[in-house]
Amino acid sequence: MPDPAPRILPFGEPALAEAARLIIDGQPVAVPTETVYGLAADATRAEAVARIYAAKGRPSFNPLIVHVPDPAAAEALAVFDADARALAQAFWPGPLTLVLPLREGAPVASLVTAGLPSVAIRVPAHRAMQALLRAAGMPLAAPSANRSGHISPTRAEHVAASLGATVPLILDDGPTEAGLESTIVGGRTILRPGPITAEQVAAVLGPLAERVGDAITAPGQLLSHYAPSKPVRLDVTAADADEWHIGFGPIAGDETLSSGGDLTQAAARLFDALHRADAATKLRIAVAPIPAHGIGEAINDRLTRAAYR
């Protein structure tokens, strides 16, 4: 049976007010940018971001792009150097994402950055995303508004066909302009090609560096993961004395991802829990069994990578 049809409202003041209300309530909303339609949610709240992953289905924990209305808002979240400011001046607002050090104390949920010390950030040009950013009054995390692994959406009907009613509202402002995701730059390296070419970036920065190694630092690459400094043991119902136990459901542990067995809540809390476990005095980390369906599949994938030695 096909998914129920989502609400699609034409861009305008009534639709914008409803979209901002949903965002403030912690829900995701599909909105066009100049690249593709994005599935936007409050970047400062982990549970709001977890709803993006749940709506997209079979997600991977990749860092997400944070969208802000202007360069000043970007500098409040990230540490800019001269190169980053030059690129921002040249290409913002527009389809360029910069990967920069996360500013200390910046109110960005760790689920957005995948536990990394950097943040991917962009100032979009599209009127709908700009209007939503200003109406909601917060930075928005927004990956493409489609089921994981499917074609990126460039029209509202693409979003509706892919996500159905898992997204409560789609703002329809016609087809997107670029039709592919933003160019991502970290330092002087192109991390993901996009509408802004390497030649355009090099015209601002000078010669670019080749990407070296397989480290994942940005969206659009392979899975990024946070690896604790301590050994991690999975599917543990009873922890040893030297293990900090991260619980789930009926297994309380030293702390729990979700006492009620809510996988979306567990996804939202995962990175913070791993950080706290790594900082605890106990020498090892144990994690209770997590069901492997829905977003639980991504949680288990993330934990398996964290436990790899």
- 142 labelled as ligand-binding? yes
- 85 labelled as ligand-binding? no
| Cα–Cα distance for residue pair 301/304, rounded to 1 Å | 5
Q: CATH no. for residue 124?
A: 3.90.870.10
Task: Give the amino acid at 78.
Answer: A
Instruction: Determine the structural domain holding residue 251 and report its residue range.
Output: 232-307
Whether 97 is in a domain gets the answer yes
pLDDT at 109 over 70: yes
Where does 152-280 show beta strands of DSSP type E?
A: 170-172, 183-186, 189-192, 232-233, 243-247, 255-256
Tens digits of residue pLDDT in 55-93 = 998 666 678 999 999 999 999 999 999 999 999 999 999
Whether 3 is in a domain gets the answer no
Residues 192 and 275 in one domain: no
Mean per-residue pLDDT, 241-245: 98
- 35 labelled as ligand-binding? yes
**DSSP assignment letter at 31:** E
Q: What is the pTM of this model?
A: 0.84
- 293 labelled as ligand-binding? no
Residues 139 and 103 in one domain: yes
Residues 164 and 256 in one domain: no
Are 149 and 223 in contact by the 8 Å Cβ rule? The answer is no
Q: What is the mean pLDDT of the chain?
A: 90
- 147 labelled as ligand-binding? no
Whether 220 is in a domain gets the answer no
- 144 labelled as ligand-binding? yes
At residue 221, the pLDDT reads 47
pLDDT bin (cut points 50, 70, 90) of residue 174 is very high
Residues 200 and 63 in one domain: yes
- 308 labelled as ligand-binding? no
- 192 labelled as ligand-binding? yes
Query: 63 preceded by cis ω (within 30°)?
Result: no
The residue from 205, 223, 256 where one domain ends is 205
- 226 labelled as ligand-binding? yes
